[in-house]
Amino acid sequence: MKIAIFEPHPSYGGGSERVVLDVSRHLAGRGYEFFLLHDGTGTMLPVYDGFLKGRRQMELRAFGWRTLGQSVLRAWRVARCWRGWGADLVFSSDINYLRFLALAGRLARLPVVLHLGIANPLPYRSQHFALRFFAAGIAPSAHTTEAWRIAGWPEDRLHVVPNGVDTTRFRPADNRGDLRRQLGLPEDRPIIVYVGRLVQEKGIRTLLDAFARLRLTRRHVLLVLVGSHNHDSAGPWPDEARRCGLPEDAVCFKGRQANPEDYLAAADLAVVPSEWNESFGLVVIEAMACGTPPIVSDVGILPELVGPDRPRLIFPASHAERLAERIGWWMENTAARIAIGKILPAEAARRHVLASMGAGYERVFLMALSPHGANPRQPKHQQLK
């Protein structure tokens, strides 16, 4: 099977981009051929180039009614690219290009499968109409699948495939001191890490506020943020850190990195302070796989990922004071932090197997290529493993 990946900005940042990369690399190892169409350069490109059969860079823009002619022309060029590769199927995770992908898929006469990493952000009537033209949608959790069903995605083309983690990459450090030196991080300071997009709904302001409170009694702790506000900057957050009274040597903005696993493995704690309904939270299980305890907010599926029997790893979303208390407790109780860090990698590997995720996506791809698309006998919302 030849699969065309549509990823306008192939960079480490959000979990959806990492899911597409991990699934594609896994299936490439099983003999599938992959091609990548992208716009900007990104930190994932060196990894993609390790298994791609080809890639092409061209200007890509989301569908717009005010620029309808240009949207149709771009969709036609994309369709020609896919057909030139001899692609059998298109795979993407970029929800913002949903209408464009539906149009390009129709022009190319190819099935398009979308990873549904978040709920529908654009509830336009035309977006609702476009949903019927996708061969399949794959969500990492049942409640995200339900959100898309309510949004209008055909129920018999919705599937649940839980995210998996690549434990060959995300694993405990052999020597944390050596790893910190390689990353340019201090060896003698406790480090808290955040990995993800630097946007308001991810709870960045709450994190900075909590860290400022923590620094009142623990001035030696360092906060490292790996990710960006958009595709190349930290946005307003360095200024926000200063407004919180945090000096430059207290907070380190690293931007997007091709090796988020190293920052997770080098840290003492990870924080996932999201304030919106997370569909999965891939960074949670990635931190667990690295042996780094993740402190998460109580929204979406996050508490389920760390385990409801671990209340000290969960705090009320948007509550900076409680988050500061949670971080402080784990910093003070070193033995407990080390003990749970030894348990988490095996737990992540057991519950979130990359091969199972790959097999689930492979099954949906094959169904999308069948003469009738989705299997009419498959139970609705069946979880694929």
Q: What is the pLDDT of residues 285-324, one digit of tens each?
A: 999 999 999 999 999 889 999 987 899 999 999 999 999 9
- Coil, strand or helix at 6: strand
Instruction: 200-203: list long-range contacts, CB under 8 Å, 24+ apart.
Output: 200/275, 201/274, 201/275, 201/276, 202/273, 202/274, 202/275, 202/276, 203/273, 203/274, 203/275, 203/297, 203/317, 203/318
Token pair in block for residue 88: 């059998």
Spell out the domain ranges in the chain: 2-164+353-369, 176-351
So what's the pLDDT on residue 34?
98
* Residue 353 half-sphere exposure toward CB, CA atoms < 13 A: 8
- In angstroms, the Cα distances linking 198 to 204, 205, 206 are 6, 9, 12
> What burial class does residue 200 get, using C-beta atoms within 10 Å of its C-beta: 0-12 exposed, 13-18 middle, 19+ buried?
middle
pLDDT for position 131: 93
Tell me, what's the pLDDT at 377?
Answer: 33
Please, what is the Cα angle at 333 between 327 and 337, to 5 degrees?
75
- CATH entry, 176-351, from 3.40.1390.20, 3.40.50.150, 2.40.100.10, 3.40.50.2000: 3.40.50.2000
Q: Are 365 and 230 in contact (CB under 8 A)?
A: no
Return the pLDDT at 230: 72
Would you say the pTM of this structure is higher than 0.75? Answer: yes
Residue 34 · residue 5 · CB < 8 Å: yes
Fold classification of 2-164+353-369 (topology level): Rossmann fold (3.40.50)
Q: What is the Cα–Cα distance from 370 to 385, expressed in whole angstroms?
A: 19
H helix count then E strand count, the chain:
15, 13
Same fold, 2-164+353-369 and 176-351: yes
Residue 281: DSSP 8-state: -
pLDDT of residue 229: 82
Q: Give the pairing type, strands 112-115 and 191-195.
A: unpaired
- Name 190's bridge partners: none
What are the tens digits of pLDDT across the range 211-255? 999 999 999 999 999 998 876 677 899 999 999 999 999 999 999
Please name which of 59, 58, 37 lies closest in space to residue 48, comparing C-alpha atoms. Answer: 37
Per-residue pLDDT of the chain (385 residues; tens, 9 = 90+): 999 999 999 988 778 898 999 999 999 999 999 999 999 888 899 999 999 999 999 999 999 989 999 999 999 999 999 999 999 999 999 999 999 999 999 999 999 999 998 877 777 788 889 999 999 999 998 878 988 999 899 999 999 999 999 899 999 999 999 999 999 999 999 999 999 989 999 999 999 999 999 999 999 999 999 998 876 677 899 999 999 999 999 999 999 898 999 999 999 999 999 998 777 888 999 999 999 999 999 998 899 999 878 999 999 999 999 999 999 999 999 999 999 999 999 999 998 989 999 999 999 999 999 864 544 333 334 444 3
